[in-house]
Amino acid sequence: MAKEPTGKNTSGRGQRELKVKVKTARGRKLSSTRWLQRQLNDPYVKRAQAEGYRGRAAFKILELDEKFRFLVPGARIVDLGCAPGGWCQVAAKRTNALGEKSGKAVGFVLGVDLQEVDQIPGVELHVLDFLAEGADDQVKDWLGGKADVVMSDMAAASSGHKQTDHLRIISLCEAAAYFAFDVLEDGGTFVAKVLAGGAEGELQKLLKQRFAKVANVKPPASRADSSEKFVVATGFRGALPEAADPSA
* 244 contact partners, CB below 8 Å, separation of at least 6: 209
Report the 10 Å Cβ neighbour count for 127.
10
State the pLDDT at residue 16: 42
State the pLDDT at residue 64: 98
Distance of alpha carbon 71 from alpha carbon 79, whole angstroms: 12
State the pLDDT at residue 75: 98
* Mean pLDDT for the stretch of residues 163-186: 90
| Residues taking part in catalysis | 193
The pTM assigned to this predicted structure is 0.80
**What is the three-state SS of 179-229?**
HHHHHEEEEEEEEEEEECCCCCHHHHHHHHHHEEEEEEECCCCCCCCCCEE
Chain centre distance of CA 189 = 12
State the pLDDT at residue 41: 60
State the pLDDT at residue 35: 42
Question: What tens digit of pLDDT does each residue of 122-141 get?
Answer: 999 999 999 999 999 999 99
Binding residues for S-adenosyl-L-methionine: 85, 87, 113, 129, 153
Would you tell me the crossing angle of helices 30-41 and 43-51 to the nearest 10 degrees? 60
Question: What tens digit of pLDDT does each residue of 210-236 get?
Answer: 999 999 999 999 988 888 899 999 999
Question: What tens digit of pLDDT does each residue of 92-121 get?
Answer: 999 999 999 999 999 999 999 999 999 999
Average pLDDT, the chain: 84
Q: Which residues, listed in sequence order, are joined to residue 132 by a DSSP beta bridge?
A: none
**35 vs 143 pLDDT, higher one:** 143
Distance of alpha carbon 191 from alpha carbon 42, whole angstroms: 25
Question: What tens digit of pLDDT does each residue of 38-91 get?
Answer: 555 668 888 888 998 999 999 999 999 999 999 999 999 999 999 999 999 999
Distance of alpha carbon 214 from alpha carbon 231, whole angstroms: 7
Q: Nearest-CA neighbor of 125 among 79, 158, 169?
A: 79
CB 86 within 8 A of CB 54: yes
Ordered structural domains, the chain, with CATH: 18-51 (no CATH), 54-244 (3.40.50.150)
Question: What tens digit of pLDDT does each residue of 151-171 get?
Answer: 999 976 666 667 777 788 888
* Mean pLDDT for the stretch of residues 182-201: 87
State the pLDDT at residue 40: 55
